[in-house]
């Protein structure tokens, strides 16, 4: 006997009907349907975290994070509005000036979710005065480079190391603007952990904070993930549109 198809219900996203399975968050349902809601800290492999707030939507006029809000029948969700996109653009501009993101010289350029999302939101410059923080680069590990200048505090590496690799290599420290990524070793150096290149945490970073050594430009600029298709187009093709 074949398994029963899970029952689906519906809500509206920007005025259009959207099906969901009970238990889905708004972001899960939207992504499955090929509808793009900007996000940085959410990843389908992990429980929602809600730290970047880029996925903020309005439900019946009240703001909330689409990655943590459970979908319910009859919901009226607003995402692609001038107000919400302006809010997202400001958050992106703050992320760029809070760290040291030099896209033209970054090995992750063209394959960086932060960069791709900034393009999607129409960001053309930093807007705010740049902080230029003095952050370290940890090149102690034989195979992995850790560049704290590019970290956006999404905690994906923390969750991947803990939940998938079972190693707890990373954690977060500090509060407010002083929040930062920590390496859980006596020296604070990556070389003194049991992290290896095959770990999920080594490949999960959406920006260029964790990079494999000796592989920086294996894929030429112009042929990378976001060089040919925008981030919103990729969501549509993978989940909601026709594969080409």
**How does pLDDT run across 190-230, given as a tens digit for each residue?**
999 999 999 999 999 999 999 999 998 889 989 999 998 99
For residues 29 and 98, membership in a common domain is answered with no
In a domain, 98, yes or no: yes
Per the domain annotation, does 69 fall within a domain? yes
Query: Is there a single domain that holds both residue 199 and residue 118?
Result: yes
Residue 181 has pLDDT above 90, yes or no: yes
In the three-class reduction of DSSP (H, G, I as helix; E, B as strand; rest coil), residue 146 is classed as strand
pLDDT (0 to 100) of residue 243: 36
Residue 232 in any domain: the answer is: no
Number of domains comprising the chain: 2
Residue 50 falls within a domain, yes or no?
yes
Domain match, 136 and 23 both = no
Q: Annotate 26-54 with b (16+ C-beta within 10 A) or e (fewer).
A: bbbbbbbbbbbbbbbbbbeebebbbbbbb
Instruction: Say which CATH number the domain at 45 has.
Output: 3.10.20.740
| Of 45, 80, 115, the domain-final residue | 80
Residue where one domain finishes, among candidates 62, 80, 98: 80
Query: What is the domain-level CATH number for residue 200?
Result: 3.30.70.20
Give the confidence band of 49 by pLDDT, cuts at 50, 70, 90.
confident
30 neighbors 57 (Cβ within 8 angstroms): no
Q: Are strands 76-78 and 56-59 parallel, antiparallel or unpaired?
A: antiparallel
Q: What percent of the chain lies above the pLDDT cut of 70?
A: 95
Rounded mean pLDDT, 106-127:
94
Which residues have a Cβ under 8 Å from the Cβ of 9 and sit 6 or more positions away? 19, 20, 21, 22, 71, 72, 73
Contact indicator for 84, 58 with CB cutoff of 8 Å: yes
pLDDT at 183 over 70: yes
User: Are 60 and 145 in a shared domain?
Assistant: no
User: What's residue 217's pLDDT?
Assistant: 86
* pLDDT tens for each residue of 60-110: 999 999 999 999 999 999 999 999 999 999 999 999 999 999 999 999 999
Q: Is residue 32 included in any domain, yes or no?
A: yes
Whether 5 shows a pLDDT value over 60: the answer reads: no
211 and 97, same domain (yes or no): yes
Query: Do residues 201 and 160 lie in contact, with contact meaning Cβ atoms separated by under 8 Å?
Result: yes
239 assigned to some structural domain: no
Residues 95 and 171 in one domain: yes
Whether 100 and 211 map to the same domain: the answer is: yes
- Is 156 domain-assigned? yes
Q: Which pLDDT tens digit goes with each residue over 226-240?
A: 998 999 999 987 766
- What separation in angstroms does the CA of 239 have from each of 5, 33, 66? 18, 6, 18
Q: Select from 110, 130, 129, 113 the least CA-distant residue to 121.
A: 113
Q: Could you tell me if 113 and 143 lie in one domain?
A: yes
pLDDT score of 170 more than 80: yes
The pLDDT value recorded for residue 241 is 56
Of 30, 61, 80, which residue is a domain's last? 80
In a shared domain, residues 68 and 114: no
235 is a domain residue: no
Nearest to 182 by CA among 212, 138, 214: 138
Structure confidence at residue 244 as a pLDDT band (50, 70, 90): very low
Which range of residues forms the domain containing residue 117? Answer: 87-216
Average pLDDT over residues 146-165: 97
What are the residues facing 10 on neighbouring strands?
19
- Asked if residue 178 and residue 101 are part of one domain, the reply reads yes
> What element of type H or E holds 156?
helix 156-160
Same-domain status, 149 and 194: yes
Structure tokens belonging to residue 157: 């590496």
How much is the pLDDT for 240?
61
Q: How far apart are the first and last CA of the chain?
A: 34
Query: Is pLDDT above 70 for 2?
Result: no
What local confidence, expressed as pLDDT, does residue 193 receive? 98
Per-residue pLDDT, 45: 93
Q: How many CA atoms lie less than 13 Å away from 168 in the CB half-sphere?
A: 2
Model pTM above 0.95: no
C-alpha neighbours within 13 Å on the C-beta side of residue 88: 25
The rounded distance, in Å, linking the Cα atoms of 84 and 38 is 10
Closest C-alpha to 155, from 116, 106, 201: 201
Residues 123 and 64 grouped into a single domain: no
């Amino acid at each position: 006997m074949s398994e029963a198809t899970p029952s689906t219900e519906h809500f509206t996203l920007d005025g259009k009907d959207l099906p969901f399975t009970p238990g889905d968050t708004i972001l899960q349902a939207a992504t499955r349907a090929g509808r793009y809601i900007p996000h940085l800290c959410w990843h389908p492999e992990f429980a929602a975290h809600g730290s970047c707030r880029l996925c903020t939507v309005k439900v019946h006029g009240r703001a909330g994070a689409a990655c943590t809000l459970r979908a319910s029948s009859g919901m009226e969700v607003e995402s692609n509005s001038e107000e919400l996109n302006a809010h997202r653009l400001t958050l992106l501009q703050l992320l760029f000036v809070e760290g040291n993101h030099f896209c033209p010289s970054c090995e992750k350029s063209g394959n960086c979710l932060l960069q791709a999302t900034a393009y999607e939101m129409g960001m053309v410059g930093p807007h705010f005065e740049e902080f230029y923080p003095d952050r370290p680069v940890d090149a102690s590990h034989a195979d992995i480079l850790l560049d704290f200048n590019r970290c956006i505090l999404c905690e994906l590496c923390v969750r991947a190391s803990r939940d998938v690799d079972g190693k707890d290599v990373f954690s977060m420290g500090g509060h407010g603007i002083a929040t930062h990524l920590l390496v859980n070793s006596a020296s604070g150096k990556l070389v003194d952990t049991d992290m290896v290149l095959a770990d999920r945490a080594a490949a999960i970073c959406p920006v260029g904070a964790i990079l494999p050594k000796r592989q920086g430009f294996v894929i030429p600029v112009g042929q990378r993930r976001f060089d040919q298709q925008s981030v919103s187009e990729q969501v549509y093709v993978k989940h909601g549109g026709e594969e080409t």
